[in-house]
Amino acid sequence: MGKIMVMEHPLIQHKIGIIRRTETSSKEFRELVGEIAMFMAYEATRGLKLRDIEIDTPITKTTVKELAGKKLAVVPILRAGLGMVEGMLTMIPAAKVGHIGLYRDPETLKPVEYYCKLPADCEEREVFVTDPMLATGGSAEAAIAMLKEKGVKNIHFMCVIAAPEGVKALSKAHPDVDIYIGALDEHLNDHGYIVPGLGDAGDRIFGTK
């Protein structure tokens, strides 16, 4: 069973408080989403496996820890998920990066796929899917189903803001996936936007509206 974890770190909460504000510029929004992703990566990687290895320091032999689990990959859901990639890579620089292109049809709220390029060995990797917004959950569900079709087994989903509706739908569709949430909001409005939310994350990151 996957974990559902809402971040409590004060720096994450403070930064989310800034990106919610209407007056926050695209530049600041983009920088802060990157910083939030970096802190979230720190929390989401706590469970990575370690093993003991013996090494030589300039003084003596000693035993140190090294990562022993699967190699890692970060897979943003385009576009808005791209805003979290650099922050993730700051913490896990050896991770490979795949891309899944989905947009949500504004009428049906269903995800429409337009791109998928994953690392060739993605099925051997532990994958962190990133998207700032988990609203109905349709986009995250579809992206994770695409990864599972390629044989990926260890999947984590990371979002900055989630609606309870999306968390419920995603954990039902993919109960094995860990879900890391920056802040859990109240509900979705009639247009499928998260309330209080922050508006359209992709438009705010890339300045398209």
Ligand X SMILES: O=P(O)(O)OC[C@H]1O[C@H](OP(=O)(O)OP(=O)(O)O)[C@H](O)[C@@H]1O
Ligand Y SMILES: O=c1cc[nH]c(=O)[nH]1
Positions marked catalytic:
104, 108, 200, 203
Tell me the window of 26-34, 38-46, 58-66, 133-141 that interacts with ligand X (CB under 6 A): 133-141
When binding is defined by CB under 6 A, the residue of 118, 135, 167, 179 that contacts ligand Y is: 135
CA 151/CA 125 separation, integer angstroms: 10
Least Cβ distance, residue 67 to ligand Y (angstroms): 33
- What are the Cα distances from residue 55, in Å, to 50, 64, 71, 144? 15, 7, 22, 39
Q: Give ∠ CA 105-198-182 in degrees, rounded to 5.
A: 100
Q: Is 125 in the site for ligand X (CB under 6 A)?
A: no
Residues across the chain: 209
CA 209/CA 200 separation, integer angstroms: 9
When binding is defined by CB under 6 A, the residue of 133, 146, 147, 205 that contacts ligand Y is: 133
Place of tokens 């820890």: 65
Q: Is 200 in the site for Mg ion (CB under 5 A)?
A: yes
CA 95/CA 128 separation, integer angstroms: 10
Which does residue 101 bind out of Mg ion, ligand X, ligand Y, none, counting CB within 5 to 8 angstroms by kind?
none
Least Cβ distance, residue 27 to ligand X (angstroms): 18
Residues whose CB is less than 8 angstroms from the CB of residue 150 and which lie 6 or more positions away in sequence, other chains included: 118, 122, 123
Residues 75-104 that bind ligand Y (CB under 6 A): 80
Which of residues 58 and 106 has its CB atom nearest to Mg ion in the complex? Answer: 106
CA 166 to chain centroid, in Å, comes to: 14
Q: Is 80 in the site for ligand X (CB under 6 A)?
A: yes
Least Cβ distance, residue 165 to ligand Y (angstroms): 11
The letter for the amino acid at 10 is: P
Tell me the window of 24-32, 56-64, 120-128, 195-203 that interacts with ligand Y (CB under 6 A): 195-203
CA 98/CA 146 separation, integer angstroms: 12
Q: Is 202 in the site for Mg ion (CB under 5 A)?
A: yes
Q: Is 194 in the site for ligand Y (CB under 6 A)?
A: yes
Q: Compute the half-sphere exposure of residue 71: CA atoms within 13 Å on the CB side of its CA.
A: 12
Q: Is 197 in the site for ligand Y (CB under 6 A)?
A: yes
What number of helices (H) and strands (E) belong to the chain?
A: 6, 13
Annotated binding site: 79, 104, 131-139, 194, 199-201
* Binding-site ranges for ligand X (CB under 6 A): 77-80, 102-104, 109, 111, 131-140, 166, 192, 200-202
* Binding-site ranges for ligand Y (CB under 6 A): 80, 133, 135, 192-194, 197, 200-202
